[in-house]
Amino acid sequence: GAGVSQSPSNKVTEKGKDVELRCDPISGHTALYWYRQRLGQGLEFLIYFQGNSAPDKSGLPSDRFSAERTGESVSTLTIQRTQQEDSAVYLCASSSGTLPNQPQHFGDGTRLSIL
Amino acid sequence: GDSVTQMEGPVTLSEEAFLTINCTYTATGYPSLFWYVQYPGEGLQLLLKATKADDKGSNKGFEATYRKETTSFHLEKGSVQVSDSAVYFCALAGSTSGTYKYIFGTGTRLKVLA
């Protein structure tokens, strides 16, 4: 597709369940980023991929959070044993390189609600 | 570490008013600076960028100048429209140990009244 695609767009689940969020970046974009945006707050960096490797995982809030990327394309963010504080919009972005002047292109996000 | 500080919102203006949204940053090295916009119900979009000191980014009537001496990248528009109502995020892209990371401000909500 032309833009970054995320699925599902909305996810409601019970506390304690595992969830998997998917991101399809723009074709050819080597860099991929995950962010979390809590209600009324700014973007919180989670993890960055260059190709299939993740040189920066510093933003993952706990070991319940993990992410992988395969084929230098699709990425999945997995949250295990979800907690209510995990409720947020999870945004994925991709860019064509790691150079600092390459802007990021964002998906519409997955709105996650933990009951 | 690197950080971005934006003025808190919401900012409420009448149509055709002058807009300034302040953004200052702290960073090692020479980061690139960006403004992103999030319209209601939509995803984040790049509004403008500047990659070095004294560069001016501009788009859709918005401007921002990279001021190294004051570590600022304030967003301005001479005459806002109702359609400019959105949340605006200032961001920098800087390098930490060779890895470029994007740091976003907390966002400033702009509401323009007809």
Q: Do B102 and A45 lie within an 8 Å CB cutoff?
A: yes
Hunting for tokens 């992988």 — which residue is that? A68
Chain A residues close to B49, C-beta within 8 Å: 101, 103
Instruction: For chain A, say whether B74 makes contact (Cβ under 8 Å).
Output: no
pLDDT digits (tens, 9 = 90+) for A38-94: 887 788 889 989 889 887 888 899 999 999 999 889 999 999 999 999 999 999 999
Distances (CA, A) of B49 to A46, A82, B57, B66: 23, 37, 5, 9
Please state, in angstroms and rounded to a whole number, the distance separating the CA atoms of residues B106 and B5.
Answer: 7
Please state, in angstroms and rounded to a whole number, the distance separating the CA atoms of residues A48 and A19.
Answer: 19
pLDDT digits (tens, 9 = 90+) for B25-84: 998 878 899 999 999 888 899 999 999 999 999 999 999 999 999 999 999 999 999 999
Cis peptide before B10 (omega within 30 of 0): yes
Beta strands in B32-85 (DSSP E): 32-38, 44-50, 56-59, 62-65, 75-77
The distance from CA B39 to its chain's CA centroid, rounded to whole angstroms, is 14
